[in-house]
Amino acid sequence: MDWLKFINPREEPSKDVAKERLRLLLIHDRASVAPQLLESLRGDLIAAITKYMDIDESGMEVNLENVGHSVVLMANIPIRRVKRGVQASL
């Protein structure tokens, strides 16, 4: 069955996809954060960041990860360009 990998080498094996889904589920479970809350947070991040920058929302990743005994919010947000002329209100 390894020959199937050559047909579509970019596709992840289903066991890897299942493993990643389980890992994310465990992280959310340990952090006591519902998936809806994470999606809401993602939306709020998009709203805040797009005031100052154009971003690639399709490439955006927002995850919770366990680091030691803490849960860490990790965000990978591809920035297309910074908006010029936007004044930050302090």
What residues make up the domain containing 59? 14-81
Does 87 fall in a domain?
no
10-64 tens-digit pLDDT = 556 788 888 877 877 776 666 667 778 888 888 999 999 999 999 998 888 888 7
55-89 tens-digit pLDDT = 998 888 888 777 777 778 889 999 999 998 766 55
Q: Which residues, 6 or more positions from 67, have their beta carbon under 8 angstroms from its beta carbon?
A: none
**CA gyration radius for the chain?**
18
| DSSP reduced 3-state for 31 | helix
pLDDT score recorded for residue 64: 77
Does 72 fall in a domain?
yes
pLDDT score recorded for residue 12: 60
Does 47 fall in a domain?
yes
**How many structural domains does the chain have?**
1
Q: Where are the beta strands (DSSP E) in 33-88?
A: 53-55, 61-67, 70-76, 79-82
